[in-house]
Amino acid sequence: MTFLHNIGLYILMLQKMFHKPTKWKVMKELILKDTEDTVINSLGIISFVSFFIGGVITIQLALSTTGSFYPDYLVGYATRETIILEFAPTIISIIMAGKVGSFITSSIGSMRVTEQIDALEVMGINSINYLVFPKVIALLLYPFLISIAMFLGILGGMVACVYGGYSTMNAFIEGIQTDFTPFHMTYAFIKSFVFAFILATVPSFHGYYMKGGALEVGKASTKSFIWTSVSIVVFNFLITQMLLG
């Protein structure tokens, strides 16, 4: 019952986001600020995680394939597929649900509990448009983050593979180029766009409609992380089934 109620409320929020838009001059600044807070400030952690996890994925793939009759280039090939199809778009998004999602929920939630949202509303400002819309626009840049994660993940894999002595640079590069399906990139980017929309709106929803005080802001962030990652996982399944299944 409350679940259905919340879904309804969420859809209404999305609708209201496009009503009565904020002055463009102000909106422009908000978009720049949210781009910095959500996308630019995540570059560091995403690069770090991608590079090292890329390395680990490769080492594990290499360990389970060496010394057997598999061709040398297989490690590179498998690394590329794992990272492009699943690691970069999905796992990074779940990490972002923790980083960006809880940031969005707690910043909007604390505006709710300190009546800043009421202050916007009494001035006649559409607070949903003011707060949520710029985040959705900022996260249109999200696929750009995902491409960086793909690139660094594969690079990390290559470094681990070559310096760990699992295979040669040439074999790895040959692997990366083997059987490349451009549609897999399209699929990964479609996923990234959907996840970006989830990352912007689900945490905003949990912050905007929260009730209570400072303690509840913390609880709302946790709840928002859970629902954001669950939505990402569910949509990951649906999109994969639709596009690749």
Residues 115-154 as x/- pattern, contact with other proteins by CB under 8 A = xx-xx-xxxxx-----------------------------
Q: Which residues of 205-243 are buried (b: 16+ CB within 10 A; e: fewer)?
A: bbbbebeeeeeebeebbeebbebbbebbeebbeebeeee
Residue 72, H or E segment: none
Q: How far is the CB of 141 from other proteins (least distance, A)?
A: 21
Residue 212, token pair as written in the block: 């209570």
By C-alpha distance, which of 101, 134, 113, 112 is closest to 202? Answer: 101
The answer to the question of residue 1 lying near other proteins (CB under 8 A) is: no
Using the rule CB under 8 A, give the single segment among 71-79, 86-94, 107-115, 191-199 that binds other proteins.
107-115
Residues 21-50 as x/- pattern, contact with other proteins by CB under 8 A = -xx-xx------------------------
Q: Which is nearer to other proteins, 53 or 131 (CB)?
A: 131
By C-alpha distance, which of 200, 202, 190 is closest to 236? Answer: 190
The C-alpha atoms of residue 75 and residue 73 are separated, in whole angstroms, by 6
Binding footprint of other proteins on the chain (CB under 8 A): 22-23, 25-26, 110-111, 114-116, 118-119, 121-125
